[in-house]
Chains A and B, each alone.
Chain A
Amino acid sequence: MNDRQENILTVNGLSVSYGKFQAVQNVSFSVLKGEIFGLLGPNGAGKTSTLSALEGLLKPQSGSIVIDGYDAGEKPLYARASLGVQLQSTSFQPELFVIEVLELYAGIYGLTLTRNQILAILGEISLEDQAFKKFGQLSGGQQQRVSLVIATIHNPKLVLLDEPTTGLDPQSRRQLWERIEAIREKGHAVLLTTHSMEEAESVCDRIAIIDHGRVIAVDTPQALIDKHRADPEVISVSRRGKITLEDVFIALTGKTVRA
């Protein structure tokens, strides 16, 4: 097995519940080194709960999570040190300048960076001139760029992105895709959740479709399309004749709008 085929993340039999509500049920999947893996599902399907368990924010009811060889239950700090995380709604202390937020996160990941080095990092995302603005004063796209930089500041082996393109305009979204692909070029793996099938189809190497807390399909986007191309349900939801990932997704998860 070469490096590319090694798992950076292995999730096995993961279950998460909130009281009596079973949000994630016996979910298993793995992410390979250097791949972009998409976790797709309707609202309330269990994507964010799965990610929260990986991030250590939720204690799983059962199952195991191994990140870069570290069992997240036994060695949570090592597992978390291997992760870069961008949460769905990122928030930093509103009193701090952008440069200070980066200094804080560099510090808590054990990095010693000078102000010039941090300015250079901000320069890479064309935000050098925003360094002394507060995070809340940045536009949505700028905030996403900053939080992605923070997620990758310590060169993590696996980056978790929870709906990273939500609320972005097409230009910012396209730019973010390029940044995500650049993360992969550096050899890091990315696990992202998204509602955008277009995004999943164009960026992800493999995807898992999750619904009602269970993984119902895992494959490459093209393989999923090919596999379900002839399904009557898929054909019936197809709107333009050409079968897309969205058609397969709707056929598998149903047409009903979720809360």
Chain B
Amino acid sequence: MDTVIPKTSTVLAALLRADFTTQWRNRRSVILTLVVPVIILISWKGLVAIKGGAFALSNSITIGLIATGLMGYTNAIARDRDKGIFQRLRVAPVPTWTIMASRICVQLVMIILVTTAVFIAGNEYDKITLTPSGYAFTYFTAIIGGLVYLSLGQMVAGLITNPETVNSTTRLVYFIFIMVGMFGELGILGVQIHDLEHWSPYGTVKTILAGSMEPAKWTNDTSIALLLTVLYAGVFATIGIQRFKWNTNK
């Protein structure tokens, strides 16, 4: 018996190359993901003076993270599952975790790109600058925040198998997050909605992003938001992984 199992690094390299190429070929949707938070940031120029740069940047990045994790990742895995692309990969001598790890790596790069795009737009249009540690810390919390939406997307794809239903569900959740998140934060929807929003996956991610932009202003509230963010990611990921089916046929 001389059967050789390919090295995990070789498998991952091949998957990453294919997944990044796929992402590149979908660059129109990538650009949209980058443009929406930038447009929101630019349109909020007037609020920067009132609520502060961290408020505007953190909201914009949060919206970008939701678009990346919830819309991009979730719809891509729902489509690939429906088309049998995962089944074809799974009959190869590939540890199944590498298939998802490669997808998540692509999304992590997207998170960095979204965050960078918002930083550049903030600097160019609103003259918002952070300290070097503020930038570094924000990239870190953006990844943690992005994981919340990736795991939420995983949960949606785990609970729903039909790709069209997954698509409409993620759009609905995206819309709710944006509306309740942005207007709830401003207090337009009342105190209760404001509190609900503050401790929701939108609010906690926004809070830790704002806190990391100004580390000196990090409070107990921000720490609780960080804990909740990690908790949300853990719960969503656990449900999403447990309920995820690799095919839609059976």
Stretch at the interface among A86-94, A203-211, A235-243: A86-94
Pick the interface stretch among B15-23, B52-60, B182-190. B15-23
Known: A55-B91, A69-B1, A109-B93. Contact between A93 and B7, CB under 8 A? no
A97 to B25 CA separation, bound complex (whole angstroms): 11
Residue with the greatest number of chain B CB neighbours at <10 A, chosen from A56, A77, A78, A93: A93
- CB neighbours (8 Å) of B26 from chain A are 95
Complex interface bits, B228-250 against A, C-beta within 8 A gives 1, otherwise 0: 00000000000000000011001
The stretch from A37-45, A99-107, A163-171 touching chain B is A99-107
B220 on interface, CB distance cutoff 8 Å: no
**Contact indicator A81/B88 (Cβ below 8 Å):** no
Residue pair A107, B88 in contact (C-beta under 8 Å)? no
Flag if B91 contacts A57 (CB, 8 Å): yes
> When the two chains form their complex, are residues A103 and B14 in contact, meaning their CB atoms are under 8 A apart?
yes
List the A side residues contacting B15 at CB < 8 Å: 104, 107-108
Q: Which residues of A contact B87 (CB under 8 A)?
A: 57, 87
- For residue B22, give the distance in angstroms from its CB to the closest CB of chain A: 4
| CB proximity to B under 8 Å, residues A66-121 | 68-70, 77-78, 80-83, 85, 87, 89-96, 100-101, 103-110
Which residues does chain B contribute within 8 Å of A108, judged by CB atoms? 6, 10-11, 14-15, 89, 92-94
For A55, what are the chain B residues with a Cβ–Cβ distance below 8 Å?
A: 91
Are A104's CB and B14's CB within 8 A?
Answer: yes
Which B residues are CB-close (under 8 A) to A83? 91
Give the distance to chain B from A104, nearest Cβ to Cβ, in Å.
4
| B78-86, B151-159, B208-216: which lies at the interface | B78-86
- Complex partner residue of A77 from B17, B89, B93, B247, CB under 8 angstroms: B93
Question: Complex Cα distance A80/B91, Å?
Answer: 7
Give Cα A101 to B17, complex, Å.
11
In the assembly, what is the distance between CA of A10 and CA of B13, in Å? 34
Q: Mark B64-96, 1 if CB is under 8 A from A, else 0.
A: 000000000000000010011101111111110
Q: Which of A78, A87, A107 contacts B84 (CB under 8 A)?
A: A87
* Chain A residues within an 8 Å CB radius of B18: 93, 96, 100-101, 103-104
CB-contact partner of B92 in A78, A80, A93, A96, under 8 A: A80
Which among A70, A95, A96, A105 is the interface contact of B1 at CB below 8 angstroms? A70
Which residues of the other chain, B, contact A96 by a CB distance below 8 angstroms?
Answer: 18, 21-22, 25
Give the distance in Å from the alpha carbon of A105 to the alpha carbon of B246 in the complex. 19
Indicate if the CB atoms of B84 and A56 lie closer than 8 Å: no
Query: How many interface residues does B have (CB within 8 Å)?
Result: 33
Query: Is B3's beta carbon under 8 Å from chain A?
Result: yes
Contacts of A56 in B (CB 8 A): 90-91
Q: Could you tell me if A107 and B3 are in contact, using CB atoms closer than 8 angstroms?
A: no
Q: How many chain A residues have a CB neighbour from B under 8 Å?
A: 34
A78 CA / B4 CA spacing, docked (Å): 7
Report Cα–Cα, A62/B221, bound state, in Å.
Answer: 54
Interface string of B190-212 (1 = CB under 8 A from A): 00000000000000000000000
Among B13, B25, B88, point to the contact of A95 (Cβ < 8 A): B25
Q: Is the CB of B3 within 8 A of A82?
A: yes
A89–B7 alpha-carbon span in the complex (Å): 28
Residues of B near A18 (CB, < 8 A) are 250
When the two chains form their complex, are residues A77 and B5 in contact, meaning their CB atoms are under 8 A apart? yes
- Name the CB-closest residue of A to B19: A93
Residues of B within 8 Å of A92, CB to CB, are 85, 88
Interface residues of B in 13-41 (CB under 8 A from A): 13-15, 17-18, 21-22, 25-26
**A160, chain B: closest CB distance, angstroms:** 8
Which residue in A85, A89, A93, A107 is a CB contact (below 8 Å) of B80? Answer: A93
Residue numbers of B with Cβ under 8 A of A are 1, 3-7, 10-11, 13-15, 17-18, 21-22, 25-26, 80, 83-85, 87-95, 246-247, 250
| Given contact pairs A56-B91, A81-B4, A109-B93, a sample of 6 additional A-B residue pairs in the complex whose CB atoms are under 8 Å apart | A18-B250, A57-B87, A81-B6, A95-B26, A96-B25, A100-B18
Write 29 A-B pairs (CB below 8 A) sorted by A numbering: A57-B90, A57-B91, A68-B3, A70-B1, A77-B5, A77-B95, A78-B93, A80-B91, A82-B3, A83-B91, A89-B84, A90-B88, A92-B85, A93-B22, A93-B80, A95-B21, A95-B22, A95-B25, A96-B18, A96-B22, A100-B18, A100-B21, A103-B18, A104-B14, A104-B17, A104-B18, A107-B10, A107-B17, A109-B92
